[in-house]
A and B are shown apart, each in its own frame.
Chain A
Amino acid sequence: MLRFLTYRLAHSLLLLFLVSVIGFMILHLAPGGPLSQFALSPGMSQAELEKIAERMGLNRPLPVQYLDWAARFVTADWGESFRDGRAVLDIIFGHLFATLLLILTSTILSVGLGTLVGVLGAMRRYSAYDYLATVGAMVALSIPTFWFGLVAIYVFSLRLGWLPSGNMYTIGDESFLDYAEHLIMPSVVLALVQVAIWSRYMRSSILDVVGQDFVRTARAKGLTRRRVLYVHILRNALIPMITLTGIQLPTLLSGALVTETVFTWPGIGRLFLDSLGYNDYPVVMGVLMFTAMFVLLGNLIADLLVAGVDPRVRLE
């Protein structure tokens, strides 16, 4: 177990290093590079720019600049926003709650529904239901999330007037019910793709387990169908799904960005797009790095969870 932990941690640290290198390279892609902040402001002469570059250490070799940048990163100094001068990390944390609320609600929804659809499909393999679920999942994966959001707004807000078309709460209300009302459409729209993915993987994971010898043993012991399903099949079939949840995190975050733009949800995705619109590069880069680290951490947690529930992993 200890060896497994050390290995996983080392692996994550290596990935973190590579992620930061990629981030650093992208930063230098920005128009004007790290100087863009000043290059874009009017009335700045070339000489002044060079002076600033000197002061910022932009004349030093790239590896040195990287180390400097990385050091500031590690010490939580992610720079300040061009727009309001606030610390980037503060701004990100200010938007984190909204995104977490959205992706958690949506994940609970999609895990529940996806498991149900997938298990039923596996149990009634090749039935009309199974066929319908398969086709349905493929169509769901083909619908552009942002467009689905627009259609949902058109139907449920504009035509039926049942649900608010955007934002996280009504100013002046902010009750639990108000939040819930605002949360329904974005989380369902975001869940569409996730349900499709979950149900497909769940179905094939169940089918993998059903064919294994220990399921036959469980039936030979005279256990009830219910017990065979819950205690022996589902328990084993869900283990790879923990890993899958980790792997799907980037897709989930991308989906959250899309959903947040359509529903003007004040999360990290919305922040990212706004900052992009204002050329607020420190915030843009900050969010990009934050999401990558979020994914990294999520995968690490998923691996540890698998080690927690699968006794075989502990020895490897």
Chain B
Amino acid sequence: MSMNTAPPAMAAKERRWITSRPVRRFVRHRLAIAGLVMISAIALLCVVGPWMLPHGMLDIHIRDRFSPPGSETYLLGTDAMGRDLAARLFMAGRVSLMVGIAAMVLSTFLGAVIGLVAGYFGKVIGTVLMRFTDAVLCFPQIFLLLVLAAFLEPNALMITIIIALTSWMEIARIVSAEIRSLRERDFVTAARVSGASHTWIMFRELLPNTIGPIIVAATLTVARAILIEAYVSFLGYGIQPPLPSWGNMLNNAQQFLDTAPWLAIVPGVAITLAVTSFNFIGDGLRDALDARSDLQ
């Protein structure tokens, strides 16, 4: 058997798998489409928004401090230093979305590899890895994350890494469970008999078969990563000013809550909308990709 090409029957099956029912089901899922539209709009605004506004995100207009939303040239008002909230919001969106997505990629990779190895090598290695996963899960994520953020130098990259380090466990569990059930199937035995290496079997035969649950979990991980980044930055342990993020925009909002409530409301709404979008998309993907939902 050639090691470089998948059997044609399987390739054809995969193609059909991608173009048919799951995609139709996802499209039929109104919430998922709403989420997709919403997040696309947010992302577009964050990318082109700053160029379309009259003020830069760092321009200080001391006379216009605490302008409420809708006043003159300030679409969403200004903050305590008279900076345009809209400009900051869009720039912050770039940072928050990037951190969320990058943390997802990293933690998905970490979780998938750990789950794959644990599931494939069962017995000793698998048990040790999964017990380790369980042990990390015992630490409430935000406590663990804050300790790491306090001990390590916080910057955008480090925060991304720390979020990933504290959120790979769920994907590891999902993947390891899937792999364990797949491991004894005929196509794996066939590959093993034909002399395929462990790496080949793990990454070319097994991993593609768990892609559905991984995609779903990854989408929901973006949602959670955005929430976590916001909270950690809100507390001052995350993204550091002057680089804005949705979280650190809320940093000072609490003390001006009475006089300038929009400082708290605007970034919070942005976070909620973005996170809701990813949760909606994740829900749609679950319905589309989860074989079990066929039965319901």
Contact = CB atoms under 8 A, between A and B. Distances in A.
B189 interface: no
A276 B150 CA distance: 7
A154 interface: yes
Given A150-B264, A253-B140, A288 B296 contact: no
Contact of A29 (B137, B148, B258, B280): B148
B235 A26 contact: no
Interface string A184-221: 00000000000000000000000100000000000000
Interface stretch (B41-49, B80-88, B265-273): B265-273
Given A150-B250, A153-B257, A288 B231 contact: no
Interface stretch (A86-94, A140-148, A302-310): A140-148
A276 B135 contact: no
Contact of B132 (A18, A135, A207, A272): A18
B143 A147 contact: no
Interface stretch (A43-51, A66-74, A290-298): A290-298
Contacts of B250: 146-147, 150
B31 A292 contact: no
Interface string B255-296: 001100100110110011001100110010000000000001
Interface in A1-54: 14-15, 18-19, 21-22, 26, 29-31
B136 A250 contact: no
Contacts of A123: none
A273 B235 CA distance: 9
Contacts of A287: 143
Interface string A131-159: 00001001101111111101101100010
Contact of B143 (A141, A142, A254, A296): A254
Nearest to B269: A147
B134 A15 contact: yes
Given A141-B279, A146-B231, A158-B257, A276 B264 contact: no
A107 interface: no
Contacts of B254: 150, 262
Interface residues of A, number: 49
B175 interface: no
Contacts of A147: 230, 250, 264, 267-268, 271-272
Contacts of B136: 22
B261 to A, nearest CB: 5
A228 to B, nearest CB: 21
B139 A272 contact: no
B234 A146 contact: yes
A106 interface: no
A230 to B, nearest CB: 24
A144 B230 contact: yes
Contacts of B230: 144, 146-147
Nearest to B278: A142
B150 A251 contact: no
B223 interface: yes
Contact of B276 (A139, A145, A151): A139
Given A141-B279, A150-B268, A158-B258, A295 B138 contact: yes
B143 A272 contact: yes
A258 interface: yes
A86 to B, nearest CB: 20
A261 interface: yes
Contacts of B132: 18
B142 interface: yes
Given A150-B250, A154-B257, A276-B150, A142 B138 contact: no
A257 interface: yes
B141 interface: yes
Contacts of B234: 146
Given A29-B148, A135-B31, A150-B254, A144 B138 contact: no
A29 B152 contact: yes
A296 B147 CA distance: 19
B276 A150 contact: no
Interface of A: 14-15, 18-19, 21-22, 26, 29-31, 135, 138-139, 141-148, 150-151, 153-154, 158, 207, 249-251, 253-254, 257-258, 261-262, 272-273, 276, 279, 284-285, 287-288, 291-293, 295-296
Given A18-B134, A273-B235, A276-B147, 10 more contacts: A22-B135, A139-B272, A143-B272, A146-B230, A154-B257, A249-B140, A251-B140, A254-B143, A257-B140, A288-B144
Closest 8 A/B residue pairs (Cβ): A18-B135, A147-B268, A142-B275, A254-B142, A142-B276, A253-B140, A250-B140, A292-B138
12 contacts: A29-B152, A147-B271, A150-B250, A154-B264, A254-B142, A254-B143, A258-B142, A276-B150, A285-B147, A288-B143, A291-B139, A291-B143
